[in-house]
Amino acid sequence: MADKTEYECKFCGNKKEVDSSDSDAPECCRKPMIKAEPLPVCGTSTTAEHSRIGELEEPCDDGRAGT
């Protein structure tokens, strides 16, 4: 299976996936497309609302303490 590279048009947002072996960037809106940046890897949230039960780094106050 060949590696794929994703390109995105900076004008209309159109996306296209092509083989990595292709040397030329595809065109859209009569301009060359740019390589799409990969999304960052998800991490654990640092807010109390999104904390996970049982993790060592629990929030100081998650709002369930009452008054």
| pLDDT 10s digits, 8-56 | 998 998 999 888 777 788 999 999 999 888 766 666 666 766 655 665 6
| C-alpha 23, offset from chain centre | 25
Pick the CATH number of 4-39 from 2.20.28, 2.60.40, 3.30.70, 2.60.98: 2.20.28
Q: Is the pTM value of this prediction over 0.85?
A: no
Alpha helix (H) ranges present in 1-67?
A: none
What residues contact 12, with CB distance under 8 A and at least 6 apart? 28, 29
